[in-house]
C-alpha cells in the first residue's frame, strides 16, 4: 500500500470508530425512558451521598461521572468495589444512592457488595447493558447502556460501551445541574483556579496594591514630591487628595511628558495645578472583570481603588489583571 493510500485508510478507520461510537450514543438516547426521570428524581431527593462504583474501565468512567457531578452541584464520590469489600463499604449509609457501572452486569467485585449495599439501606442505580443480570435485577433503577458491538475490531476492549456509560453519566449530571438551577457563579465557586472561576469570583480587593505601595500626595505637594512619589512606585501615576483625604485628581507619567514637551516652567507648581481632576475609579468590592472593562473602555492602564467616601484604598494595574489570567 502506498503512503497516500495508507494515510486515507488510517483516517477512514478513525472515522468508522467515531461514527460507531456516535451511533451507540444515538441508540441509548432513543431508548431513554421513564427510568431516567425516576433516577433524576431519586437523586434530587437524596438526603445522603451519591456514590459511584465500577471495576476496570467502567470504574475509570465512574470516577469521571463522580467528578462531573461533584463540580456541578451534586455531591458525589467514587468507591472502588474491591476496596469496598475490604472495609471501605463503611462510607455507605442508609439513604445514600450507589450508581453501579457494569457492561455485563456480572462484574464479580461489584456484585459481591450488592447484598451489603441493600442491607445498609442504600438505593442502587445500575448503568448496564444487560437487563437480565444480577446487577440489573438487584437495582432500584436500571439505565440501559447496552451497545451492539465494541469499536474494538475483536469486540473485546471496552470502547463503545464505556462511551455509552460516560454519555449517560453526563446526561444525568447535566440534567441534575439544570434541575438544581446550578448557575455559572455556582460553577465558579467549585473551580476557583479555573479561568471562569477567576472571572466570576475574583474581586478588585483580591488583586489591588495598597498601603505603602499606593502612590499618593496631597494637593499642596510640590512637583518634586509629586514626581518622586510617582516614579518611586511602579505604577507611573500618583493619586492626589485634598486635606480630608478624598481623591481629587491623578498625575501620570504621560502628564509629566506633556509638561516637559511644552517647555514651560512647571517645577514651581503644586500637584493641584497639574493634576487631572475627577479620574476614573473603581470600588474594592467590584469584580476584577468589571475593572478590566473600565480600563479597556477608557484605554487607561491603571485605576485608583476608592472606598465609599472616595478615599484612595489601593491601586490596580492592567498588568495585574493579565497576570491573574483575566
C-alpha cell read off for 46: 437524596
Higher pLDDT residue, 4 or 59?
Answer: 59
- Report strand pairing: 216-218 vs 50-54: unpaired
| 235-289 pLDDT per residue, tens | 889 999 999 999 999 998 888 888 888 876 788 889 998 998 988 888 888 888 8
Rounded Cα–Cα distance for residues 65 and 78 (Å)? 9
For residue 85, CA distances in Å to 5, 46, 95, 110 come to 52, 24, 20, 9
- CATH 3.40.50.10490 positions along the chain are 3-182
Q: Residue 126 is placed in which grid cell?
A: 445500575
Strand partners, 144: 128
How is domain 204-323 classified at the CATH fold level? Answer: CBS-domain (3.10.580)
Average pLDDT in the chain:
89
Cell of 44: 434530587
Where in the chain do CATH 3.10.580.10 domains reside?
Answer: 204-323
Give the helix/strand (H/E) hosting 7. Answer: helix 3-30
> SS3 of 98, please?
strand
Q: What is the pLDDT of residue 250?
A: 93
Exposure letters 302-321 (e unless 16+ CB within 10 A, then b):
bbbbbbeeeebbbbbbbebb
**Homologous superfamily (CATH) for 3-182:** Glucose-6-phosphate isomerase like protein; domain 1 (3.40.50.10490)
- Interval 156-187: pLDDT, tens: 889 999 999 999 999 999 999 999 888 766 66
Amino acid at each position: 500500500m502506498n503512503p497516500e493510500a495508507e494515510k486515507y485508510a488510517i483516517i477512514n478507520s478513525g472515522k468508522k470508530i467515531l461514527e460507531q461510537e456516535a451511533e451507540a450514543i444515538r441508540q441509548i438516547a432513543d431508548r431513554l425512558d421513564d427510568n431516567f426521570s425516576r433516577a433524576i428524581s431519586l437523586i434530587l431527593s437524596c438526603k445522603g451521598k451519591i456514590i459511584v462504583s465500577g471495576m476496570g474501565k467502567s470504574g475509570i468512567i465512574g470516577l469521571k461521572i463522580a467528578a462531573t457531578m461533584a463540580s456541578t452541584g451534586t455531591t458525589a464520590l467514587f468507591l472502588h468495589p474491591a476496596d469496598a469489600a475490604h472495609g471501605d463499604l463503611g462510607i455507605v449509609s442508609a439513604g445514600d444512592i450507589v450508581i453501579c457501572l457494569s457492561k455485563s452486569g456480572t462484574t464479580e467485585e461489584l456484585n459481591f457488595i450488592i447484598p451489603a449495599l441493600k442491607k445498609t439501606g442504600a438505593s442502587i442505580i445500575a448503568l448496564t447493558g444487560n437487563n437480565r443480570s444480577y446487577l440489573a435485577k438487584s437495582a432500584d433503577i436500571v439505565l440501559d447502556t447496552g451497545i451492539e458491538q465494541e469499536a474494538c475490531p475483536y469486540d473485546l476492549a471496552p470502547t463503545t460501551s464505556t462511551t455509552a456509560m460516560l454519555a449517560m453519566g453526563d446526561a444525568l449530571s447535566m440534567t441534575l445541574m439544570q434541575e438544581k438551577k446550578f448557575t455559572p457563579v455556582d460553577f465558579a465557586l467549585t473551580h476557583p483556579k479555573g479561568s471562569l472561576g477567576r472571572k466570576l469570583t475574583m474581586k478588585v480587593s483580591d488583586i489591588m496594591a495598597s498601603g505603602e505601595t499606593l502612590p499618593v500626595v496631597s494637593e499642596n505637594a510640590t512637583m518634586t514630591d509629586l514626581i518622586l512619589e510617582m516614579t518611586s512606585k511602579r505604577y507611573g501615576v500618583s493619586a492626589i487628595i485634598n486635606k480630608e483625604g478624598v481623591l481629587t485628581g491623578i498625575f501620570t507619567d504621560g502628564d509629566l511628558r506633556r509638561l516637559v514637551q511644552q517647555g514651560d516652567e512647571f517645577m514651581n507648581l503644586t500637584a493641584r495645578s497639574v493634576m487631572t481632576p475627577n479620574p476614573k475609579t473603581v470600588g474594592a468590592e467590584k469584580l476584577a472583570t468589571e475593572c478590566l472593562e473600565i480600563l479597556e473602555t477608557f484605554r487607561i492602564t491603571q485605576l485608583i481603588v476608592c472606598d465609599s467616601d472616595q478615599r484612595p484604598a489601593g491601586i490596580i494595574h492592567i498588568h495585574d489583571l493579565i497576570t491573574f489570567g483575566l
